[in-house]
Structure 1
Amino acid sequence: MNQRLEIEAPGKSRHFRTDQEPSKASPPHPHVALRILRGVWSHRWRVASVIAALGAGIYAIPFLLFGPLIETRPVVRANFVQTVVASGHVEAPFRINIGSQITGVVANVPVSEGQTVKAGDTLIELDDRDARAAVSQAENVVSAADARMRQLRELSLPQAEEALKQAQANLVNAQQSFDRAQALAKAGFGTQAALDDATKSLDVAKAQARNAEFQVATNRPGGSDYTMSEMLLNQSTANLASARSRLSYTVISAPRDGTLISRSVEKGNVVEPSNVLMKLAPFGDTQLVVQIDERNLGLLALGQKAIASADAYPKQSFPAEVVYINPGVNLQTAAVEVKLGVKNPPSYLREDMTISVDIAVAEHPNTLIIPAACLRNVDIEPFVLKIDGGRVKRQRVKVGIVSDGKAEILDGLSVNDLIVPTTVPSDYDGRRVRPKIAAPST
């Protein structure tokens, strides 16, 4: 049955049909939707507040049920290497100071600072005119002394030996004449004057023979003339060697292979034996000299391995080894000087270059490791906060070595336990939390 409902409003009337099914109602007029949107917009802040409250409620539900979200660190098992870090510089095992052995004027310097030289290469040349003149003079003196020795051997000695033979022959004749004159005088046939002449001739012959023997003796090796001439020859030879040595000092050569790390001499300088003109760093095992805090002295030992890097090449590293630990401590710096040997130094290393080293002072394989920042109350009774059943739990631990931001755990924890960093207050003990696992710090 169709019915018609009339509703009269002031000034006009509207007619609505009620014979249509509810499911077939016509869509609302656009003006009606617009009025609805305007109504919502007028209450936008209330709507936003309701939405925010619903969102906060949804976000707070996990917090209220499961606790706050905190970052944790897992306990890992790995090799733990304790290191002592220090800085220092590159140094040759020793340096050679190059200087002059004589006073002189520099004539030439054929090398420059930083140049590589070999043993025997000329480094400095001095004015050698006086030295050469001294050598020439000494050579002349040696020649004269040598000529004197040859004169003794070739002339004086043979002449003395011939004179001795002649004197000995004259002595024999004089002795025979004396014997005859003496016999005639005894027999009464000779005169006293004849005997006196024979005696005189015999005495002269004896004197001449003795003089000839002396001349032979002095000219033979071991004799006075020979010894004197030999001494003059030796002295002049020594003077010549000294002059030649002084001449050699005018050329200063490299004593061994190496690199010139400094030069403080130029052409025209007057140099003296006390002056250091150059410094040579010999080739060989390079050393790294570092200063270690005395608190770490008990951790150091000869033979410990290290990894070093130059500040100029931080991405490149090379091995080193502790070869020297100074027995004394510097009072001003409270540090100990330690030297590390580098057997195969990289080519980029330079003398006095700044370097950093990590000396491995202890190594514990396959041990439990946590970040050192997770330890609490370290100096008395160390403990950590770990996650146990969704709650924070205080756990006492036994700590081994601590180095490089890591700590070794000897007892109290297991692998994969989640540890709470010290950024979380200790009063979280017993609270329910939601752990967020961070990457391992090893």
Structure 2
Amino acid sequence: MIDSRTRPWSLVLFSLLTCAPVVAQAQESGRSSARPERSDFVGVGTPGESKGSAPIQLEAYTQAYRDILIGSSETAVIQDVWAEEGETVKAGQTLIQLNDSVVRIAVEVARSAATAKGEIDTAKHSLADKKRRLEQVKELHSREHATDQELWNARLDLDEATARLQAYEELTHRRQLELAQAEAQLARLTIKSPIDGVVVEQVKDVGQAVSPADPHLLRIVQLDPLKIIASGNARQLGVIEVGDSLPVTIRGKTLEAVVEFVSPVVDAQSGMRHIKLRLPNPNLEYSAGIAVDVRLQPKRSSLDREQSLNQTIRQFPFLDRK
């Protein structure tokens, strides 16, 4: 039973708790109207937007994620072409072979010199002989059967043999580096794809020459994933961050794309800013250069009952029983 003396206060407390959500919503509405720059849309800051308005559509277009014009800095003639326009290629796949007959001979010459052991073996045997000779002269010198000059000459011969072996070892190392250089030059004559993609243009064919002044051979584009370029009012895109997921409509189908880049630069005249999104395209179903719509979804906020109660207690401190 509720005491008649406490009944009025109980009714007041019940009324306040019942009206708390209404009070909180009214205060939230008042703050929203006082600060129109805050928006109910992800990335939208247009004044006057209501919570019931439709999402904003941004016009955008698809673009190849990578667009690479493959070339060579070597001077050679094209010997074979292993990829045609429209062909799908994998990273590391051989596309073009330049004539490498001269370079292959240079590689064999360098390999022969780098693997030669005769000079080093001769120097090692000479060094071992000079060491034995020095030990013999030392023993004779200790018995006074060899002069100081003979001992000095034996030591000098040993030093010369040591230096000769070191010189041959350094020469061998230099020849190994020359071999590696020749092999690298040979590898540069085999043109491989740096990415998974599609060949969209063949610039040169078999028998044509390539040089540093005219290096281009093939053009390859990466279509998985696709890149989406969208532009909008800087205030609309103000709260979008890298990593956000936005719905995009492409050929009547809605997919999810991830924001990869938000331009830090705003055009001073138009107030526009652009963003870039990544759209998975594993089956190459969509091509580059087609129009898409990027939708900025509403971001609705509501206060639950506990938040409403806490806000009411802050408004009426005498209700706090802590």
Q: Same fold (TM over 0.5)?
A: yes
Identity of aligned residues (%): 22
What does 1:140-219 correspond to in 2, within 5 Å?
A: 140-144=112-116, 146-153=117-124, 155-173=125-143, 175=144, 202=146, 205-219=147-161
CA contact (8 A) 1:84 1:361 kept: no
| Greater relative contact order (CA < 8 Å, ≥ 6 in sequence) | 2
Q: For residues 272-317 of structure 1, give each alpha carbon's deviation from its aligned partner in whole angstroms, at most 9, with x where no partner exists.
A: 34623333334753221233355744475551522221xxxx3334
Matched, 1:271 2:210: yes
Deviations 1:251-271 (A, max 9, x none): 111234333343322222222
Note the 1:1-16 alignment, pairs <5 A: none
Give 1:112 deviation, angstroms.
1.4
| Contact 1:300/1:361, CA 8 A, preserved across alignment | no
Q: Distance in 1 between matches of 2:56 and 2:62?
A: 19
CA contact (8 A) 2:64 2:223 kept: no
* Separation (CA, whole Å) in 1 of partners of 2:191 and 2:178: 21
Q: What whole-Å deviation, never above 9, does each CA across 1:58-98 have from its counterpart, x for those lacking one?
A: xxxxxxxxxxxxxxxxxxxx975422220322321x34442
In structure 1, the partner of 2:107 is 135
1:135 shift after superposition: 0.9
| Root mean square deviation, CA, Å | 3.0
TM-score normalised over the length of structure 1: 0.50
- Match in the other structure for 2:177: 238
Measured in 2, the distance between the counterparts of 1:308 and 1:273 equals 44
Moved more, 356-365 or 111-120: 356-365
Q: CA separation in 1, counterparts of 2:301 and 2:194?
A: 49
Aligned to 1:353: 289
Structure 2 unaligned blocks of 5 or more:
1-50, 303-322
Q: Distance in 2 between matches of 1:317 and 1:132?
A: 54
Given candidates 227, 245, 248, the residue that maps to 1:307 is 248
Determine whether 1:85 maps to 2:62: no
CA 1:218–1:361 in 2, change beyond 3 Å: closer, same or farther?
farther
Q: Post-superposition shift, 1:235?
A: 0.7
The 1:347–1:119 alpha-carbon spacing in structure 2 relative to 1, beyond 3 Å, is: closer
1:318 Cα offset (Å): 2.5
Indicate conservation of the 8 Å contact 1:304/1:359, yes or no.
Answer: no
Partner of 2:298: 362
SS at match of 1:285: strand
Match of 2:315 in 1: none
Output aligned runs, 1:270-289, within 5 Å: 270-273=209-212, 275-282=215-222, 284-289=224-229
Instruction: Evaluate the alpha carbon distance shift between residue 138 and residue 346 of structure 1 in structure 2; reply closer, same or farther with a 3 A threshold.
Output: closer
Q: Which of the two has higher C-alpha Rg? A: 1
Deviation at 1:127, TM superposition (A): 0.7
Correspondence for 2:277 = 340
Whole-Å Cα distance in 1 between the matches of residues 284 and 114 of structure 2? 53
1: CA distance, partners of 2:142 / 2:118: 36
